[in-house]
């Protein structure tokens, strides 16, 4: 009977010592959180192991994260694959269609969203300004430059070659006119007007030559002979050519002297505003102007952009991760944690295991107590 109580007592003491020792060892991992002093002497085993080695722990956690948890290969397998690229493409296409391409918003609405209002007034004002600017520039050139300077060289060459055709046309039309009844009447009227201005001399001429119609009948063939004569054409060509050369050396503004440009400028402005019809054009949605935009973005634009973005991101991934310095970020975060928070994190993960360690310590202590009791009984 004494053996049973001796073994039981030693088992209980061993179990208590084992459990308390393990529990104390677990507590010493974290506690005390800060070093304890008696005077200037620091009490041994203070602070706890983890608070004392927190810098090393933070550094090791950072290295573990960057070397084993968040490596470039893991990112590539997780995010840079065909499935993720296809999901990204579909997401972008869906958002583009819903938010922009198939939206009921008009061009004017989009401009308002971007902060641009009264666009019609602004555009019409810009049209007026640009027309005035361009007209003033053109007018300035007209004042200082001649036709020879302004007109392209090939235009001038072509105009020079047309002088002969113009003269021939004038002579041809002159012949047609003077051969017609209207031409005859015109000659007669010219003779009558001429004779009427000469007073007595005119009456005497009429008395000798007869009626003006008779005189017109004699003058008309001579006019036709003059128009058909080769010398007439040469003479007119020389006159026209000389005048044309003089004209080319005069400032254009002199040729247009007295011409009122304001109605022209006003009409140009009105024409541009009418043709541009800015207000009407801004009242339509994007799909009105780009009905094939959805198909184009879905089959061509977005897949190419997504593929390019994934390729570039994958190529730059290691550099980006290196520049992010994740290990330093983890270290800084761990360093900034209060020790109590670190304790809560570790205990929250391993609380059950720590309890089992305490129980195991008690069990082993109790087993050792039983063995010691048996040894004492045998040797006693």
Model confidence pLDDT, tens digit, residues 104-125? 888 888 888 888 888 888 888 8
Q: In this structure, what are the phi and psi dihedrals at residue 251, rounded to the nearest 5 degrees?
A: -60, 140
pLDDT one-digit tens code per residue, 137-192: 887 777 777 877 777 788 878 888 888 888 888 888 888 887 887 877 777 777 66
pLDDT one-digit tens code per residue, 12-69: 887 788 778 877 777 776 777 677 777 777 766 666 666 666 777 767 777 777 777 7
| pLDDT at 323 exceeding the cut of 60 | yes
Mean pLDDT over 327-332 rounds to 74
| pLDDT at 329 exceeding the cut of 80 | no
Long-range contact set of residues 67-71: C-beta below 8 Å, sequence gap at least 24:
70/321, 70/326
Taking the alpha carbons of 97, 98, 104, 110 in that order, is the dihedral positive or negative? Answer: negative
Matching residue, tokens 């490596």: 71
pLDDT, position 346: 65
- Enter the pTM of the model: 0.49
* Vertex 329 angle, CA 323 and 332, to 5°: 140
Q: Which two tokens stand for residue 368?
A: 């050792």
Q: Which two tokens stand for residue 225?
A: 């002979």
pLDDT, position 183: 76
Residue 41 belongs to what H/E stretch? strand 41-42
* Vertex 18 angle, CA 14 and 24, to 5°: 145
Rounded CA separation 80/312 (Å): 11
Matching residue, tokens 């009921």: 104
DSSP string, 277-322: -HHHHHTSBHHHH-TTHHHHIIIIIHHHHHHHHHHHHHHHHHHHHH
**Across all residues in the chain, what is the average pLDDT?**
78
Q: Which two tokens stand for residue 169?
A: 């046309």
pLDDT, position 343: 66
Residues near 316 by Cβ (< 8 Å), separated by ≥ 6?
A: none
- 208-223 burial: b if 16+ Cβ within 10 Å, else e: eeeebeebbeebbeeb
Rounded CA separation 123/104 (Å): 23
3-class secondary-structure state, position 138:
helix
Residues near 283 by Cβ (< 8 Å), separated by ≥ 6?
A: 106, 107, 108
- Which among 244, 236, 289, 237 is positioned nearest to 110, based on CA atoms? 289
Rounded CA separation 186/183 (Å): 5
In angstroms, the Cα distances linking 339 to 55, 63, 126, 342, 351 are 12, 20, 67, 5, 17
pLDDT, position 203: 53
Q: What are the beta bridge partners of residue 42?
A: 37
| pLDDT at 214 exceeding the cut of 70 | no
Q: Which two tokens stand for residue 78?
A: 């997780």
pLDDT, position 208: 46
Q: What are the beta bridge partners of residue 185?
A: none
Residues near 249 by Cβ (< 8 Å), separated by ≥ 6?
A: 146, 147, 148
| pLDDT at 99 exceeding the cut of 80 | yes
Percent of all residues in the chain with a pLDDT value above 90, rounded to a whole number: 2
| pLDDT at 199 exceeding the cut of 50 | yes
Instruction: Pick the more confident residue, 321 or 348.
Output: 321
Which of 100-109, 123-132, 340-349 shows the lowest per-residue confidence on average (mean pLDDT)? 340-349
Question: Is the Cβ–Cβ distance between 147 and 248 less than 8 Å?
Answer: yes
Which of 192-196, 339-343, 364-368 shows the lowest per-residue confidence on average (mean pLDDT)? 192-196
């Amino acid at each position: 009977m004494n053996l049973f109580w001796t073994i039981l007592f030693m088992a209980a003491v061993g179990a208590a010592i084992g459990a308390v020792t393990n529990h104390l060892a677990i507590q010493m991992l974290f506690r005390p959180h800060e070093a304890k002093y008696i005077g200037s002497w620091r009490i041994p085993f203070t602070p706890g192991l983890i608070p004392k080695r927190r810098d090393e722990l933070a550094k090791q956690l950072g290295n573990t994260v960057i070397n084993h948890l968040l490596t470039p290969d893991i990112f590539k397998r997780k995010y840079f694959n065909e499935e993720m690229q296809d999901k990204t493409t579909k997401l972008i296409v869906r958002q583009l269609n819903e938010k922009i391409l198939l939206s009921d918003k008009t061009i004017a609405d989009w401009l308002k969203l971007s902060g641009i209002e009264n666009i019609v007034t602004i555009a019409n004002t810009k049209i007026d300004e640009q027309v005035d600017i361009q007209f003033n520039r053109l007018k300035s050139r007209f004042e200082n430059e001649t036709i020879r300077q302004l007109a392209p060289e090939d235009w001038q060459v072509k105009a020079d070659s047309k002088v002969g055709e113009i003269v021939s046309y004038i002579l041809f039309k002159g012949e047609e006119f003077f051969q017609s009844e209207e031409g005859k009447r015109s000659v007669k009227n010219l003779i009558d007007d001429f004779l009427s201005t000469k007073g007595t001399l005119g009456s005497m001429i009429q008395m000798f030559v007869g009626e003006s119609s008779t005189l017109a009948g004699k003058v008309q063939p001579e006019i036709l002979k003059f128009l058909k004569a080769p010398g007439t054409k040469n003479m007119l060509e020389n006159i026209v050519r000389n005048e044309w050369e003089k004209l080319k050396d005069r400032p254009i503004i002199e040729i247009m002297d007295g011409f009122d440009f304001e109605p022209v400028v006003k009409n140009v402005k009105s024409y541009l505003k009418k043709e541009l019809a800015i207000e009407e054009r801004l009242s339509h949605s994007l799909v009105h102007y780009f009905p094939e935009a959805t198909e184009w973005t879905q089959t061509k634009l977005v897949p190419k952009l997504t593929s390019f973005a994934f390729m570039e991101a994958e190529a730059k991934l290691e550099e980006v991760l290196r520049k992010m310095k994740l290990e330093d970020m983890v270290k800084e975060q761990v360093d900034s944690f209060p020790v109590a928070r670190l304790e809560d994190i570790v205990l929250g993960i391993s609380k059950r295991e720590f309890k089992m360690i305490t129980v195991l310590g008690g069990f082993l202590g109790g087993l050792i107590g039983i063995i010691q009791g048996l040894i004492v009984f045998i040797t006693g």
